[in-house]
Amino acid sequence: MYIVTAKEMYEVDRYAMEEIGISGSILMESAGRAIAGRMKPLIGTTDQILVLCGSGNNGGDGYVVARTLLNEGYDVAAVQVGRNLTADAAMHQQVYDRLGGEVMDVEADTFQPALEKADIIVDAMLGLGVRGKLRSPYTETVQAVNDSDALVFSIDLPSGVPADDAVEFEEAIQADYTFIIEAPKPSAFIQKTAPYYGEWKTVSIGLPAAYLGRQAGARIWTEQDVKRSFPIRQPFSHKGTNGKGFLIGGGIEMPGSVTMSSMAALRAGAGLLAVGTLRQVIPSVLSHLAEATFTSLDEENGVIVDTDDLDVSAYDAIVVGMGMGRGESTAALTKRVLEEAEVPVLLDADGLYHIKSDLEILRNRQAPTVLTPHPGEMAMLLDMKVPELLERPFELARKFAIVHQVHLVLKGTYTIITAPDGSQVVNTTGNPGLGKGGSGDVLSGILLAMLMQHEDPMEAIANGVYVHGKAADVLVEDAHSQQDLLATDLMKGLATVFRNISD
């Protein structure tokens, strides 16, 4: 499923109308009929339905919804919000009116009583072009709808929600359901705006799918994508062909981080795994898994430090960072790995802090580099506040990945994965049970295994993030709650996920 910005969607609309020859009024007809069809299972024949129509395309869609439901015997009235209707919206208002539909003005005395009596409100006021603070009469109408007890359906976006980011966002319709036209917009995945959508579904209105796919800069990574791209183990494969990974981390105070990453890497299919950690930490890791080998690293005061004789040439992928500490000598080791390794290197946790003052080192690498920050770590790399990052995660992640030529995994409820060319994938698996220490360590281990088994780094990362979240979903469905789920429990969920993928 594609994700499109307002600019991308406008271009698809333009192409459909000017190049293909589908008129705007036909697109409105298709949208309104499709949305009315999606609404009917959710409403009753005796419900009083109020459709709030703006002056643009969204309002035109609303008049088609009103006419379609009216023609099928539903109790419908329309409200005109705003002035100066576009030609297509005005045409559909006239058709609705000629069918006997009622149109009241939002400023008329009859509007507030109708709103109070409504069981269903259809929000068809504003669409893609909204940015900044709402103006009258939309401000008062949004407030009145949010104060009502009616079930609220929004068309494409809840009115007031921007399509792309939340920088100037202040207030909007709080929808129970949103029927998104053709493809979701970035704001459906941004922390500040996503809750306003309620439950959302896409509806197809006949826009050219191939052109939409070429315009879209982002997409949702689905189960079908995983099954299509997941590597199949060959009959004559062996531990060498399944990758030899190197995982560096685990100070004396955080042995669990490298332990969880190591367990996850092996569970996710790594053929061989070497763990670079402190000599004092090795027994702790070894007690949880016997399959790994170990490299004892130099230490000072219980943290890993740089060493001249570390050889990284024998590995197919490397993970650096978890539980290492943030001192200068520790950072020097991370930079050494980045400079010398000719294979994919993933930086997580403390490894991200090690490069903050030397980001140019990332551009100098020839092999893929993967960064897996949570919002706090990403804000640190960008030298900004977390709320500012969360208002523009798609834009900021894309700029960072392009400038520094990295694969960026911005973790969150909806994890955004960005390639060095700026293309983006959004993962929707996972649940709040992952919001505990150690979940990110498990993800890094899974990604290490995936990077060694895929030729395409973007597919490897997307599949790894999907599997990580899906393991949490499977466990919460079958054996755990979101409260008691631990990062180490994810190892048990991986087996079920891998079996389902291979079916």
Q: Are 289 and 255 in contact (CB under 8 A)?
A: no
Q: Are 333 and 248 in contact (CB under 8 A)?
A: yes
Known binder of ligand: residue 59? yes
- The alpha carbon of 273 is separated from its chain's Cα centroid by a whole number of angstroms, namely 30
Known binder of ligand: residue 159? yes
How far is residue 451's CA from residue 453's CA, in Å, rounded to a whole number? 6
Q: Are 413 and 375 in contact (CB under 8 A)?
A: no
Q: Is 284 helix (H, G, I), strand (E, B) or coil?
A: helix
Q: How open is the CA angle 265-270-271, to the nearest 5 degrees?
A: 145
Known binder of ligand: residue 489? no
User: Which pairing describes strands 199-203 and 177-181: parallel, antiparallel, or unpaired?
Assistant: parallel
Known binder of ligand: residue 82? no
Known binder of ligand: residue 88? no
Known binder of ligand: residue 67? no
307 to 70, 256, 299, 340, 412: CA distances (angstroms): 76, 23, 9, 13, 34
Known binder of ligand: residue 147? no
Give the pair of three-digit tokens for residue 233.
């183990």
If you write DSSP's letter for every residue of 129-149 in order, what string do you get?
T--SS--TTHHHHHHHHHHS-
291 to 54, 160, 237, 286, 467: CA distances (angstroms): 63, 55, 18, 8, 22
Provide the residue type at 224 as one letter.
Answer: Q
Known binder of ligand: residue 130? yes
Known binder of ligand: residue 414? yes
End-to-end alpha-carbon separation of the chain, Å?
A: 22
Known binder of ligand: residue 436? no
Known binder of ligand: residue 238? no
How far is residue 441's CA from residue 264's CA, in Å, rounded to a whole number? 8
Known binder of ligand: residue 127? yes
Known binder of ligand: residue 277? no
Known binder of ligand: residue 73? no
Give the pair of three-digit tokens for residue 106.
């939002």
Known binder of ligand: residue 441? yes
Known binder of ligand: residue 227? no
Q: Are 54 and 82 in contact (CB under 8 A)?
A: yes
Known binder of ligand: residue 415? yes
Known binder of ligand: residue 131? yes
Known binder of ligand: residue 14? no
Contacts of 21 by beta carbon, 8 Å cutoff, 6+ apart: none
Instruction: Write out the binding residues.
Output: 57-61, 123, 127-133, 138, 156, 159, 323, 374, 411-415, 440-441
Instruction: Write out the binding residues for K(+).
Output: 58, 123, 159
Instruction: Write out the binding residues for (6S)-NADPHX.
Output: 57-61, 127-133, 138, 156, 323, 374, 441
Instruction: Write out the binding residues for AMP.
Output: 411-415, 440
